[in-house]
Amino acid sequence: MNNSEKKRMNGEAEEENEEDVEDEGRDAWERTYTDERSWEALEEDESGLLQPIDNKAIYHSQYRRRLQSLSATSAASRIQKGLIRFLCVVVDLSKAAGEMDFKPSRMAVIAKHVEAFIREFFDQNPLSQIGLVIIKDGVAQSLTELGGSPEAHIKALMVKLGCAGDSSLQNALELVHDTLHKIPSYGHREVLILYSALSTCDPGDIMETIQKCKKAKLRCSVIGLSAEMFVCKHLCQETGGSYMVALDEGHFKELLLEHAPPPPALAEFAIANLIKMGFPQRAAEGSIAICSCHREAKVGEGYICPRCKARVCELPTECRFCGLTLVSSPHLARSYHHLFPIEPFTEVSARQLELSRVASKTCFSCRESLLTPGAACTKCKQYFCLDCDIYIHESLHNCPGCESRRITPAAASATMS
């Protein structure tokens, strides 16, 4: 190595050290605004000065709009929802997923939000199942079979991350069709495609495959990360799904989570059916048996099928031997709120709250002061902050004010004694 190269390398090292020293010398708020695209987190106030965007207020407004639209749809007509869903999530991992218009890349953004979507899906649909399919090198590959374990799906996806080759939409549709057309009539067959590419490399006529999916009653929805494609729009129109293109990471997350709640059931599935279900008992501690899911011996884990006495790892699932649907009572209880959801609370401004006759200006749930706009239940007339409003409608599914009214004075005195 000559002297000029040594001097150049020493100079680069000194520049890096100077940058590190500058970062250490900045305050926390300064380092926040020196990040890339930091201007997107700023807005101009009424006086013309810059201030950080209140993401909490934006999230609350988006939630209120979504809740009002859902309530308006439900009020217009009585809609039957599909509570037992079989969803195939198709993730496009072609070379287009390596584009960096979504930071740090489309693939990283998809992986992060698919993980959150899987957890939210099973929270909203405890009786449903998910299967993962990836598209890479022009081939569709089944990553996980239909199952009810979120951890198994997430682990399998994180292991297979990596983009290469072209994308083939037809191969993906053929694979999900072979998987979902065997589903019983009471199950709602859905496909969610996260598509990054701007083209599809297919071995045959994709229009025939789309008609095959339509005949099998597959509801196909697509979320695009590039520009709009005619074939994706045609697929969604033919099968009754939705097609949207994400504008940025926040919009992509919002579009993805919209598919977590149960959608309105198709007319073909709106017929009432009786479904045989089994409530298995938990295996005794220390017992050794071969698991029918993984075909390996396990000690004291899993559940025993009440019909054939086979061992399964987790619920809900379908027994591999007798085909009985195995669930637990909490799964049915968690599905109840989809049938009778809580009515949206009425939004109350700070001025309205100030003029009200309520002596306590605190949230009925968390007891925090209502210094900001809140919401009021239409039945019990109790006031809640926006955070509790979101928690009640999206997680708790019961109004604390209405539930407290159901406690009779005799029951309350008995409880206190």
Q: How far apart are CA 237 and CA 220, in angstroms?
A: 9
* pLDDT above 60 (res 15): no
Greatest mean pLDDT among 74-78, 194-198, 323-327, 352-356 lies in 194-198
Which pTM was predicted?
0.74
* Range with the largest mean pLDDT of 195-199, 262-266, 402-406: 195-199
The pLDDT value recorded for residue 313 is 83
What average pLDDT score do residues 151-170 get? Answer: 92
SS3 letters across the chain: CCHHHHHHHHHHHHHHHHHHHHHHHCCHHHHHHCCCCHHHHEEECCCCCEEECCHHHHHHHHHHHHHHHHHHHHHHCCCCECCCEEEEEEEECCHHHHCCCCCCCHHHHHHHHHHHHHHHHHHHCCCCEEEEEEEECCEEEEEEEEECCHHHHHHHHHHCCCCCCCCCHHHHHHHHHHHHCCCCCCCEEEEEEEECCCCCCCCCCHHHHHHHHHHCCCEEEEEECCCCCHHHHHHHHHHCCCEEECCCHHHHHHHHHCCCCCCECCHHHCCCCCCCEECCEECCCCCEEEECCCCCEEECCCEECCCCCCEECCCCEECCCCCCEECCHHHHHHHHHHHCCCCCCEEECHHHHHHCCCCCCECCCCCCECCCCEEECCCCCCEECHHHHHHHHHHHCCCHHHHHHCCCHHHHHHHHC
**pLDDT per position as a tens digit, 47-103:** 777 766 555 655 566 666 666 555 554 444 456 666 789 999 999 999 999 999 898
For residue 185, name the pLDDT band (cuts at 50, 70, 90).
Answer: confident
Question: Taking all residues of the chain, what is their mean pLDDT, rounded to a whole number?
Answer: 80
- Helices 150-159, 106-124: axis angle to 10 degrees equals 170
> What order do you get walking across the sheet with 139-147 strand by strand?
139-147, 129-136, 85-92, 188-195, 219-224, 243-245
- Reading the block at residue 365, the tokens are 């749930």
Q: Tell me if 21 sits within 8 A of 15, measured CB to CB.
A: no
Most confident of 207-211, 262-266, 342-346: 207-211
Instruction: Give bridge partners of residue 89 from the DSSP assignment.
Output: 132, 192
Long-range pairs of 57-65 with CB within 8 A, sequence gap ≥ 24 = 60/386, 60/390, 62/254, 63/386, 63/390, 64/347
Residue 135 Ramachandran class (φ > 0 left, ψ -120 to 50 alpha, else beta): beta
Q: What is the mean pLDDT of residues 202-209?
A: 95
* The pLDDT value given to residue 292: 76
**Geometric angle at alpha carbon 187, from 344 and 196, rounded to 5°:** 75
414: pLDDT strictly greater than 50: no
pLDDT of 154:
93
Cis amide bond preceding 316, omega within 30: yes
Q: What is the pLDDT of residues 279-324, one digit of tens each?
A: 998 887 777 777 877 777 777 778 889 999 888 888 888 888 888 8
> Would the pLDDT of 152 be above 70?
yes
In percent, the amount of the chain with pLDDT more than 90 equals 33
Task: Find the distance separating the first CA and the last CA of the chain, reported in whole Å.
Answer: 88
- At residue 156, the pLDDT reads 93
Residue 336 to residue 397: CA distance in whole angstroms:
9
**Structure token digits, residue 43:** 């807005």
Of 121, 132, 129, whose CA–CA distance to 86 is shortest?
Answer: 129
The pair phi, psi for residue 9, each rounded to 5°, is: -65, -40
Give residue 22's pLDDT band: very low, low, confident or very high (50, 70, 90): very low
